[in-house]
Structure 1
Amino acid sequence: MRKPSWIGVDLGTQSVRAVRIAASGAVLGRAARPLTSSRPDEVRHEQDPLDWFAAVDAVLAAVADPSVAGLAICSTSGTVLLTDTTGRPLTQALMYDDARATLELPKVIAADPARWSTAMQPTWALPKILTLTPSTPSEWRVAHSADAVAADLVGHPVATDTSHALKTGYDLVARSWPFDAFDRLGLGRELFPEVVLPGAELGRVSAAKAQVTGVPEGTPIYAGMTDGCAAQIAAGALAPGAWNSVLGTTLVLKGVSKDLLDDPTGAVYSHRHPDGGWLPGGASNTGAGALSTLLPDADLDAFDRRARVLGPIDAAVYPLTKRGERFPFVAPDATGFELGDLPDDQHRYAGVLQGVAFIERLAFEHLVKLGAEPVGSVALTGGAVRSGYWNQLRADILGVPVELPATPDPAYGMAILAASGASVTETAARMVEIAEVLEPRPSARLEHLYGEFVAELDRRGYLG
């Protein structure tokens, strides 16, 4: 008999990735396919769900074999679309950073001010649903991207999970949809899927999809989580005091708390921990994506090599990937800025690295002020971990050790979740390997610049 293996799938912004793992956590296969249907602009960002289906079929076909015992899917938080009653897409998907629902946000807040006055943002799924609503409500259903892909694999609509449902308004404390508020918004109760905990079985791979993907017919598909939570599982940061910082196109922080953190500013939100407790954190509009915007067509690897020689500089860039900020503060009209002397693109590159790390530190300080456990260590995941210089700089600015997991992919986290059974914390502890630990190096120069950076944010009114 073959030893069982599990697959995790990550529906990213630019690609779909899949990882297959053994019971030991060893990676048995991986694959990626690009997504080419994105159409982002300053406000709008859409993708074609059919592009997801084709890419998922391809990556599964590349990694699957008869030993697969289950799979789970993660996707971007707040990405939403409408499907028909059979699960087929009726609309384009509005992506996690699509901000077209600014005019709908007041309607959502007015439907339940006590619940949403500070805890709802225009990029969240619920306001965006109001911009998609067709004239015949009975013929459509709400789905998140992971839901749509799971439905395609099993051949019928599936439940959603508490993680993806959060930004659609699901009440994680009451564990129910706020149907009274939905009624006031004209959204019928039948439009929203059942909600289950991550790890619950959603359905089984259909015969038709088994032929296309190579995943055995009848393989269970388990409810996943959003990509930030998936990366947190891949990092093994599932106990209080351990944090995961995902730095890719944008910056996402996730930690663990026993009690739910209450943030009156609305910058911090919490997912349910699959094993109990909470996963507080937030998503910034800063991140490595700003490098391609500020330095188009640049050789970023060459810039990174020279940054290591240059070392810390007396300047920083607040590098927003788009207008407005979501975390560690909420400032819809925030714009990026440069602080200090930046005589050339090399210094601008170094300034972006320092500015992102400053926002990361400010985010941790905000979380601790709300009652989160003091930061003991931070696991770094996301595409930016390819820069060894940036990793060390982040450790120096945060002032705590940073850990580099051996397999920091969100898809790997979903494979762990699919394999978990009773406890994802225990399974991750067994499977996750830390490849390197970087100790912080104190720097009075960076401390002084960080103070100036925060003061500039405050001067502009962004910190409230």
Structure 2
Amino acid sequence: MSTADHAWLMGIDIGAGSLKTMVVRSDGHVGGSASMDIVTHSPKPRWSEQDPQDWWRAVCDTVPRALADAGIKASDIRAVSFSAGAHTPVLEGKDGRVLRPAILWSDQRSGDQVQKLQGAHGERILEISLNRPSPTWTLPQFQWLVENEPEIARATHRVYVAKDWLRSRMTGTWETDRTEAVGTMLFDAKNDEWSRELCDMIGWRIETLPPLVTPTTVVGEITREAAAQCGLVAGTPVVCGTSDTSIETFGAGSVSPGDGTVKLATAGTVSIVGSAPHVHPTLINYPLAVPGLWYTITGTNSCASAHRWVRDTFFMQGASSGSAAFAEMDRVAATAPAGADGLLFHPYLQGERAPYWDPMLRADFVGMTFRHQRAHFARAVYEGIAFSLREVKDQFAAQAMPIAQARIIGGGSKSALWRQIVADVLGIDILLPRTTDASFGAALLAGVGVGIFSDPLAAARHCTQVLDTARPDPARSAYYTELFELYKAAQRGLQDVNHGLSRMREAPTGGA
């Protein structure tokens, strides 16, 4: 098949801070892309929300620009598919209006609800949903809504997950895939159905939950109204898609049992592909985009988000752009020695998931002296996040699930320095795929849905390629293992302080 004979596919992904549209040729070549920032609102401490209408506005902005970047016409697109972060519900009333902003997976408001659920039903929730409650999941988010916004809960006619609501703007249809269903913590994975028992635990109506399809199902076509707004052609097939980490794992080529993946995105994760879920309180399980496979995953709440916070706080002055500031941070961090002269960073800017599952932990720099400069702080951030991922990886080792090597994805994977630090801290080979975006994987699933590829496995093997491998340096790995013990000891020592600070009342106003 010549280049001219290849089909064009489109993937659209809602990230934590931006929406990206990518145009991909059926040989895996990325023809063009465009992105637009999405604002996250925090009206109260520990809240994270977005306006779903912002997602649709971003689609209408990025689709024409991605087509122009690829130098193709809208009529060249054979199919479109979607991805987004899991656990982000959009609630619609009977009139089709969105009832409130979407609560993001990073939102921590439901900590009290998690404690109640874990105390009263923890073992049963794990048994049915295959996962342990935390503020990330939709189940405790919905319990928070029932308790704090009961009028919204009563008015909800349809529940969407983020990418499904966005896709419905194109097709007018209502459905989700099983990975997203598992991500709500309202799904009985063993019996392949929504769980009335889980819904009843929190007083949620099961009738509001969508029908189930596979990620590669063609769910509809782009309507004339949607086409007029976003710049695509009416009648273009639209494929369901799935959640971002599932689709990134698949798109990076981790498609065989035992394959590992490290993700340096807003959150940081480590996952391993298997033929079945591995149910344990410290691990999280989802179906993979490849039929018959699962990925078991756990992660740290603040990864690239912590990286970005440090960039914005210390490195934006004088920088021409955010990307230039990132490059400067990378350059400066490389000048500091491994271990940052004894400076440690715990990246708990939004509490922490594995292995602590503690929304009241706080970030810190530990071990500061007069000799520490910007370079040390920058390197400590890279290393601290890598140490947090080491704690995540150790959860797998404790369950006899070793990871010999891993493909690396997410925005942080662009940094050669960070990739090497991750390899040294984890003690494994880190492989960099040619393309790591969730929008890339979404485009491949679109191709499966319309028959360009025979199945997801064939698509991944045909279109993925490893560009670089970071191998651990034995001396640095040994050094980091020693430092890692101090990292854990510092976390233990500061835990009560963190809890006390999180419980502190606001300071009184007025006076000196």
TM-score for the superposition, normalised by structure 1: 0.91
Per the alignment, residue 306 of structure 1 pairs with 332
Q: CA deviation at 1:28?
A: 1.7
CA distance in 2, matches of 1:10, 1:430: 21
Pairing 1:59-208 to 2, within 5 Å after superposition:
59-64=62-67, 65-85=74-94, 87-106=96-115, 108-109=117-118, 112-116=121-125, 119-130=132-143, 131=145, 132-134=149-151, 137=154, 140-156=157-173, 158-169=174-185, 170-208=187-225
CA distance in 2, matches of 1:364, 1:439: 17
User: Which letter does structure 1 place at the counterpart of 2:178?
Assistant: T
Pairing 1:136-285 to 2, within 5 Å after superposition:
137=154, 140-156=157-173, 158-169=174-185, 170-264=187-281, 267-273=282-288, 274-285=290-301
Per the alignment, residue 362 of structure 1 pairs with 391
Identify if the C-alpha distance between structure 1 residues 139 and 332 changes in structure 2 by more than 3 Å, giving closer, same or farther.
Answer: closer
**What's the CA shift string for 1:353-384, capped at 9, x where partnerless?**
11111111221121132243x21221111111
Q: CA deviation at 1:17?
A: 0.2
Q: CA deviation at 1:163?
A: 1.7
**What's the CA shift string for 1:373-407, capped at 9, x where partnerless?**
x2122111111123211111111122221111111
Is 2:361 the partner of 1:327? no
Q: CA deviation at 1:310?
A: 2.2
Identify if the C-alpha distance between structure 1 residues 322 and 310 changes in structure 2 by more than 3 Å, giving closer, same or farther.
Answer: closer
Identify if the C-alpha distance between structure 1 residues 419 and 254 changes in structure 2 by more than 3 Å, giving closer, same or farther.
Answer: farther
Residue of 375, 380, 383 corresponding to 1:351: 380
Q: Which moved more, 1:280-289 or 1:319-328?
A: 319-328
Which of 1 and 2 has greater Rg? 2
CA distance in 2, matches of 1:98, 1:136: 18
User: Which letter does structure 2 place at the counterpart of 1:218?
Assistant: G
Q: CA deviation at 1:43?
A: 0.8
State the number of aligned residues: 458
What's the RMSD between the two structures over aligned residues?
A: 2.4
Give unmatched runs, 5+ long, in structure 2: 68-73, 316-324, 497-512
Identify if the C-alpha distance between structure 1 residues 388 and 42 changes in structure 2 by more than 3 Å, giving closer, same or farther.
Answer: farther
SS in structure 1 at match of 2:242: coil
What is the identity percentage for the equivalent residue pairs of Structure 1 and Structure 2? 24
**What's the CA shift string for 1:103-128, capped at 9, x where partnerless?**
33355457744332671112311222
Is 2:398 the partner of 1:398? no
Residue of 433, 448, 468 corresponding to 1:436: 468
CA distance in 2, matches of 1:135, 1:388: 46
Q: Which moved more, 1:125-134 or 1:101-110?
A: 101-110
Q: CA deviation at 1:144?
A: 1.1
Q: CA deviation at 1:101?
A: 1.9
CA distance in 1, matches of 2:326, 2:32: 29
Per the alignment, residue 449 of structure 1 pairs with 483
Higher helix content, 1 or 2: 2
